[in-house]
Structure 1
């Protein structure tokens, strides 16, 4: 399925971290302790405060990357006594990896293409109702306590992207959500994933898409 149109090419410093996804318009707190990522944060703070989050395809050092990640901007930073950082990263835009660059920095860098998502896209009333109905079923089955009044007040982008970021799915499912080409497609996929993952019983082994 084709993705949203590309609007720009950019050089990005990347933080490849499995299971930690960022979506545009949302925030991700990170504790930075490895020396190479301390260097990356210091470099970002000295330039444009931007760091790109992306999942590696395997846990091995230097593993290939998935095709799509999310560019973030450091909104808040706490420098720690041990040289590390606590940062709050705000999602700016999704990107597609074009190629990995040969660099001398301790952290990896890529050339990427920013993706033109529509920040004003909304769900139809039927899509929104269908999602909330499935989310209630999933939450009840998993034993989650949810403030549904607060959920009802969220705009469509915050709701769908927010659930995509925090949902207890495996890394492959969450990557598929990040790669979905629009809000409606992401909503539809979320419903399918809640139905899929919701089939497991408490005594079953974890259901994954792998």
Structure 2
């Protein structure tokens, strides 16, 4: 996906970042994520972000089952992705509907004091500096055909519809990032993918996850019959 001229340069990425913890919602560089904001604290967060650099961090909360930590402040996974608000509208019933476009992943170095009820972190960007590079149009992951075959089997078994014609023309980084964000994988699988810095390794991991999920579903079907 095209990196727009509104994307910040690596040197301009912020040292503090508001974050929106949401299980199962993974943002990846160049990928768009629609959000429907209605909680007062997150409405304040969006207003503050729009008044500043338009950058917002998406991150998954960690599983807090069997812990005594309050549900409203779960631990955060160490890696998330910052997105730029590229579309924004207000509704008559007090919601904000927006679109985040992924910019660059980050690693949390520390959590900062909250502001207006929402959470903030100090992000480290260095491990994911390549996220801001334009994907090479000629880049190809190893065994792309096998990767696509694994994706086709997964989609057939899971009943997932994807725009195959659009995927065919995508460069590998954009293809893998789009699938990371939008396939119905588990939150744990999505987190493992977002934490894998390089596209080739992320593609290998994704192919393995798709094949395991396909086999597991087929085994369940066999048991039912």
Kindly provide the CA deviation profile for residues 2-59 of structure 1, in whole angstroms up to 9, marking residues without a partner as x: xxxx976610000000001100000000000000000000101111111100000036
Q: How does 1:95-134 map to 2 (within 5 A)?
A: 95-114=106-125, 115-117=128-130, 119=133, 120=135, 122-124=139-141, 126-134=142-150
- Kept in 1, the 8 Å contact 2:89–2:98? The answer is yes
Shifted more, 20-29 versus 156-165: the winner is 156-165
Q: How does 1:135-174 map to 2 (within 5 A)?
A: 135-174=151-190
**TM-score, L = length of structure 2:** 0.81
Which residue does 1:3 correspond to in 2?
none
Pair 1:32-2:37 in alignment = yes
- Across the two proteins, how many residue pairs are aligned to each other? 199
Pair 1:20-2:33 in alignment = no
CA distance in 1, matches of 2:213, 2:14: 36
**TM-score, L = length of structure 1:** 0.87
Over the aligned positions, Cα root-mean-square deviation in angstroms equals 2.1
Change in Cα spacing, 1:143 to 1:23, as seen in structure 2 (3 Å) is same
Structure 1 alignment gaps of length 5 or more: 1-5, 206-210
CA distance in 2, matches of 1:145, 1:90: 22
- Kept in 2, the 8 Å contact 1:38–1:83? The answer is no
Shift of 1:181: 1.7
